[in-house]
């Protein structure tokens, strides 16, 4: 339910127009500067959530990439 509300941008609708503009601009800047694609791995794309210091062969660490 929360995921659906976030994807519908329900919580952003209570912001003022300047706040919404700032938030959208900030989100785009962060997307351009900080987004890293997942590494190219042979086989299925397996995502490991919350494993910060531990890496496993064939798995993408969710802490290091934005999908």
Chain segment 2-41, per-residue pLDDT in tens: 778 777 777 766 778 888 888 888 888 888 887 777 777 7
Q: Is residue 66 part of a domain?
A: no
| pTM across the whole model | 0.40
If one counts the domains in the chain, the total is 1
- Continuous segment of H or E residues that includes residue 61: strand 59-61
Give residue 30's domain range.
2-61
Q: Is residue 33 part of a domain?
A: yes
Residue pair 60/46 in contact by the 8 Å Cβ criterion: yes
Q: What digits encode the pLDDT tens for the residues 37-55?
A: 777 777 777 777 776 677 7
Residue pair 60/38 in contact by the 8 Å Cβ criterion: yes
User: First vs last Cα of the chain: how many Å apart?
Assistant: 21
Q: Is residue 67 part of a domain?
A: no
């Amino acid at each position: 339910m929360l995921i659906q509300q976030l994807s519908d941008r329900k919580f952003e609708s209570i912001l003022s127009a300047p706040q919404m503009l700032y938030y959208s601009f900030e989100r785009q800047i962060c997307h351009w500067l900080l987004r890293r694609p997942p590494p190219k791995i042979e086989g299925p794309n397996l995502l490991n959530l919350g494993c910060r210091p531990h890496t496993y062969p064939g798995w993408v660490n969710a802490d290091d990439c934005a999908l």
